[in-house]
Amino acid sequence: MIHTLIKKLTLGSSVFICAILLLANILYIRIAYKNLEQQTISNFQTNIFQIYQDIEKSPILNASVLKQYTQNHYEIYLEDYETTLYYESDAPLPDPQAVIAELKKLSPSLSPEDRKRTSYIEHQEFFYQNGKKDYYVSTALIKNSDYEINAYILYSLADLYRHTRYIILQSCIICVSASLILCVFAYFLVRQSLKPVADSQRRQTEFIAAASHELRAPLTVIMSNTFAMTKTTGDEQQHYYEITAKECKRMSSMIENMLTLAHSDRFALQLDKSCCQPEDIVIDCYNYFEQIILAKHLKFHVSLPENALPPCLVDRNKILQLLIILIDNAVHYTENGSITLSLSRKNQHLIFCVIDTGIGIPDYAKGKIFDRFYRVDASHSDRTHHGLGLSVAKEIAQAHNGKIKVKDTPGGGSTFIVELKIM
Ligand code: ADP
């Protein structure tokens, strides 16, 4: 499902990126073409006015100067009272006379007032197409007291089109390359953004699979013992009843842990913070575990700071739950020696340590023990520990902006350190 979502989002964002780039490209080409056209026309105008002024001064044109223009794609046709004075082109028109006749029709006609004036240059510019070739044309009437010359100057737009084609090619290459790069980038961005969702989906699937597996065992025991209870009486029935009750209790604690984790997955773990003395939590733990630890013939040490710590704002019950998980594990995995619970303060952090001298945790498992349903020795048929305690402890620590870590106890065993930020 996540893969389909990644594909769809990548496709969607790629189409969007390509559409934006295409639009920007079309806009750029249009602006570039307009600028080029403007520049071409302005160069043309500068040149033709120079030619017209020269003609106005003298009808004897400097052929070498005109030739320079024609080499630059100008076609110049001059006429004095219907007599051709000059025609020059580096790529002659197939039928120049027919073209000139057509241009004459498009040229402005002179009003009687204009004709009376002794000296003027009357000119007009327009686009003109001949066959498949496009031109920018200027037609003019240059008059002084001695002569009257009609000028037809055509400028081939082939150069303008060639430049435009080059710009289109260049910007298309840039546009395609940029689209490809951005599409690849979009794919990685989408994949990276959806990674937490994919991880959470994977964790949820694993969680459900492990939870159903773990719940099946107590359910089987409960079902078989309930059936046995119906077939027995007296002490035997009591025996089956006690097993069933124990399994129900175990199942209930597991479901409670699972609900805590499921809730913290959907929302942040809800904390009920209140101002409390951290030493009191440690003393509660001591009272809770004293007899349990003594019954196992272990020593229980508690270490508190010499001076009373300032009160802090925490969820007292949740911190107590966290310490109970750690001490319960310490008791469970320690056969000889001692368990120490200490409390100290470092800068803005409260530090709780649970130190045992038990079996310890191998290095390869230290990073995994906080995962849900992970047990170092999964084959161990322990019916009270189901691999959820440390993941709940980690959620509680994180909800308090804190962290939990594990290291070896010097001489053997495990030391769990909980650092909680004091609000
Ligand atoms: P469990 O309920 O199985 O103890 P936890 O999440 O609390 O689950 O712990 C995960 C695993 O970490 C345990 O199965 C155990 O292998 C290991 N572990 C936890 N605490 C200790 C400890 N104090 N000493 C040795 N191993 C421990």
Long-range Cβ pairs for the range 396-402 (8 Å, 24+)? 396/269, 396/315, 396/318, 396/319, 396/321, 396/322, 397/322, 398/269, 399/264, 399/268, 399/269, 399/271, 399/315, 399/318, 400/271, 400/314, 400/315, 400/318, 400/319, 402/349
Query: Are 295 and 221 in a shared domain?
Result: no
Looking at residue 12, its pLDDT comes to 93
Which CATH number do you get for residue 300?
3.30.565.10
Residues 305, 77: Cα–Cα separation, whole Å: 108
For ligand 1, atom 11, which residue shows the shortest CA distance? 375
- What is the predicted pLDDT for the residue at 352? 96
Q: How many CB atoms lie within 10 A of CB 184?
A: 12
Nearest Cα residue to 48 out of 106, 125, 133: 125
The band of 281, judged by pLDDT with boundaries at 50, 70 and 90, is very high
Q: What is the mean pLDDT of the chain?
A: 86
| pLDDT of the residue at 247 | 86
Q: Give the residue from 128, 162, 196 where a domain finishes.
A: 162
pLDDT score at 380: 56
Residue 117 has pLDDT above 70, yes or no: no
CA of 416 from ligand 1 middle (Å) equals 11
For residues 90 and 235, state if they share a domain.
no
Instruction: Say whether both 282 and 260 belong to one domain.
Output: no
Compute, in angstroms, the gap from residue 122 CA to the centroid of ligand 1. Answer: 102
Q: Which of 288, 304, 388 is nearest to 353 (CA)?
A: 304
Spatial contact of 355 and 342, defined as CB atoms under 8 Å apart: yes
pLDDT digits (tens, 9 = 90+) for 21-73: 999 999 999 999 999 999 999 999 998 888 888 887 776 767 777 777 777 77
Q: Which two tokens stand for residue 232?
A: 């027995």
β-pair partners for 126: 137
Closest CA to 343 of 413, 418, 250: 418
Check which CATH number belongs to the domain holding 248 and give it: 1.10.287
pLDDT digits (tens, 9 = 90+) for 346-391: 888 899 999 999 999 999 999 999 988 888 876 655 556 778 889 9
Instruction: Tell me, yes or no, whether 292 lies in a domain.
Output: yes
Q: Kindly indicate the confidence band of residue 119, based on its pLDDT and cuts at 50, 70 and 90.
A: low
> Using a 6 Å CB cutoff, which residues line ligand 1?
325, 329-330, 333, 356, 358-359, 361, 369, 374-377, 385-391, 414
When divided into structural domains, the chain yields a total of: 3
Identify whether residues 388 and 350 lie together within a single domain: yes
pLDDT at residue 82 is higher than 80: no
**Residues 153 and 22 both lie in one domain:** yes
- The answer to whether the beta carbons of residues 340 and 401 sit under 8 Å apart is no
Give mean pLDDT, residues 319-344.
94
**CA dist., res. 37 & res. 34, Å (int):** 5
Dig out the tokens for 281 from the structure.
Answer: 């939590």
Residue 91 lies in a domain: yes
Distance 328 CA to ligand 1 centre (A): 9
Whether 127 and 7 map to the same domain: the answer is: yes
Domain region containing 215 = 210-266
Tell me the C-alpha distance between 282 and 265, whole Å: 28
Per the CB < 8 A criterion, the answer to whether 80 and 59 are in contact is yes
pTM: 0.57
Shared domain check, 143 and 20 = yes
Please give the helix or strand (H or E) that residue 212 lies within, else none: helix 158-231
For 142-171, write each residue's pLDDT tens digit. 887 777 888 888 898 988 999 999 999 999
Give 149's contacts (C-beta < 8 A, 6+ positions apart): 55, 59, 78, 79, 80, 85, 141, 142, 143
Give the CATH number, domain containing residue 155: 3.30.450
**Share above pLDDT 70 across residues of the chain, in percent, rounded to a whole number:** 92
CA dist 251 and 215 (Å) reads 7
Counting ligand 1 atoms within 8 A of each CB, the residue from 333, 357, 386 with the most, and so the one to mutate, is 333
- Which residue's CA lies nearest to atom 12 of ligand 1? 369
Whether 65 maps to a domain, the answer reads yes
